Amino acid sequence: MQLKTTPGALRLGLMAASCSLLGTPAVAQTTPDTPTDDEQPWQFDTGLLYYKENDGRVNSSEPLVTLRKDFGEEHVFGFGFEYATLSGGSANGALPAKKLQTFATASGVRLNNTDGTPITYTTPSGQTVAQLQTLTLYQINPGFLPVDPNYHEQRIAMDASWSQPFAGANHVSTGLRLSHELDDFLSAVNAGISHDFNQRKTTIGLVANFQHESLKPPGGAPVPLSDYRLSDKGGDRTKNTKGGMLSLTQLVLPDWNLQLNYVFDKQDGYLTDPYKILSVIDSAGLTTDYIFEKRPDSRTQKAVFLDNRIAIARTVLDLSFRHGSDDWGIRANTIEGSLRFNIYGEDIYLEPHLRWYHQSAASFYRLYADAAGPLPAYISPDTRLAEFTAQTLGVKCGFLLQDRNEVTLRLELYKQDPTVHTSSLAGLSGLDLNPSLRSFMFQIGWRHGF
């Protein structure tokens, strides 16, 4: 089976596999051969994804719908819609302790006067913010990781894209994404251009993107490094992301397709997590206080992604490597592979998938704040910024049906193990301060051409 030469504009879509940088898997998808656009002008994809973490942490269900139409001569329109609900327990950043701990949930409802105007209060720093109707308290038993059991989030997102040929062997593409969560609204645009040459065996591409987020945590964003018990909060916050990607796609042999991407992103604005707090620990290992975290207000990320897709008879092997880094001190490497093969003629196929990932810690990541010393300029307990190793094991099964239909089932198991999760301090000895994360994901999908 030969690998098909994909038109330049459509190859730009493949680069999404390496757009996400640190802390998020880069997945190189292997898709089954489908009829050409002339044979399949409409393509409808829908699916349902379910995700669950261990120990009662986050779980999510997410329906996905995408629609794609070729209006002829590679003038392609795409549209996507997703709706996600997340619930369960979300780690608040504090450490386990040998005594009962009490916290207030970050979520809440604004309290309004009878005329509909919000009741406000003035924080210790002089900010006037909306008052929460009720601070829901929750308790964490000794030895357990503090997680907010009242965590709840919803996300509605829509995507639209357009691509077409331009001046001969060139292609241009544009895209728009809108996403709304309970405390966040995101808008993003992107534009790309690619050029085919060497008898369309080689494609170079450039994509630029811009993203703006409006963040509205309940009651306002907390003052960084302030005392958690004072609930010292300010107003809403924003952050922007500007970036780009340079790509090279090469058909090395009829059965070997190579892709090389370089990605650059720059974030500015409010990058602190408004829901993360740190335990303040004394020399005996006892918790004396809690404070809100603080991160730098800018972040530059870079990544290089290399993917090889090789066809051997009716089997397709996909191997990729990615290296990413940022100016927060994180260095990350990912090795990933999948193998697609038929198990019943050409109507059923299996695709096992393996992924290994390792990252170093951010320079300001800490398990806790030291009660005896001065606070650093930046400090965060977020485990996504810690040093850890992760493995993913998965399998996808596809059923090719009549009338251009395809049904897919996918299951993945994820394991994340931190490098540092204990302390020699007496008050913390014997406690797992940064427990391993286990999760599984199941997805069912249906593709229909008409």
Identity of the amino acid at 45: D
Q: Of residues 448 and 80, which shows the higher confidence score? A: 80
pLDDT recorded at residue 40: 52
Does residue 56 have a pLDDT over 90?
no
Query: CB-side exposure of 214: number of CA atoms within 13 Å?
Result: 7
The two beta strands, 101-104 and 137-140, are: antiparallel
Q: Which two tokens stand for residue 94?
A: 């504090």
Contact at 8 Å (CB) between 178 and 157? yes
Residues present in the chain in total? 450
Residue 20 has pLDDT above 80, yes or no: no
Measured CA distances, 234 to 119, 122, 131, 223, 226 (Å) = 15, 9, 12, 6, 11
Tokens 């003052």 belong to residue: 223
Which tops the pLDDT comparison, 338 or 15? Answer: 338
Work out the burial of residue 232: count CB atoms within 10 Å of its CB; fewer than 13 is exposed, 13-18 middle, 19 or more buried.
Answer: buried
User: Which pLDDT score, from 0 to 100, does residue 374 have?
Assistant: 92
7 vs 80, which has greater pLDDT? 80
Whether 233 and 219 have beta carbons less than 8 Å apart is answered as yes
CA distances for 292 relative to 226, 232, 297, 369, 422, angstroms: 6, 10, 15, 10, 22
Which residue's structure tokens are 């300001």? 364
All structural domains of the chain: 8-449 (2.40.160.40)
Distance CA 96, CA 433 (A): 6
Amino acid making up residue 68:
R
In whole angstroms, give the CA distance from residue 306 to residue 18: 9
Instruction: Count Cβ atoms below 10 Å from residue 403 Cβ, excluding itself.
Output: 7
| Cβ atoms of residues 353 and 412 within 8 Å | yes
Other C-beta atoms lying within 10 Å of the C-beta of residue 265? 21
Could you tell me what percent of the chain has a pLDDT over 70? 86
- Tokens 């190793």, located at residue: 389
Residue 439's closest CA among 28, 56, 40, 130? 56
> In degrees rounded to 5, what are phi and psi of residue 238?
-135, 160
Q: What is the pLDDT of residues 102-157, one digit of tens each?
A: 998 875 444 556 666 767 777 777 777 766 655 678 899 999 999 998 888 899 99
Give just the sign of the alpha carbon dihedral 359, 362, 363, 364. negative
How many angstroms separate the CA atoms of 296 and 376, rounded? 12
pLDDT in tens, 171-181: 999 999 999 99
- Mean pLDDT for 217-245 is 90
**CA of residue 193 relative to chain centroid, distance:** 25
Contact 380, 331 (CB under 8 A): no
pTM for this entry: 0.86
Report phi then psi at 433, rounded to 5: -80, -20
Given this model, what pLDDT does residue 41 score? 66
Nearest partner of 173 among 3, 41, 6, 5, judged by Cα? 6
What is the pLDDT, as a whole number, of residue 233?
A: 85
Lowest mean pLDDT of 71-75, 198-202, 335-339, name the range.
Answer: 71-75
Q: Are 193 and 166 in contact (CB under 8 A)?
A: yes
Q: Which amino acid is at 119?
A: I
Q: Check: CB of residue 13 under 8 Å from CB of residue 261.
A: no
Which stretch of DSSP H or E encloses residue 19? none
Give the CA-trace dihedral at 181, 110, 152, 85, to 10 degrees: -40
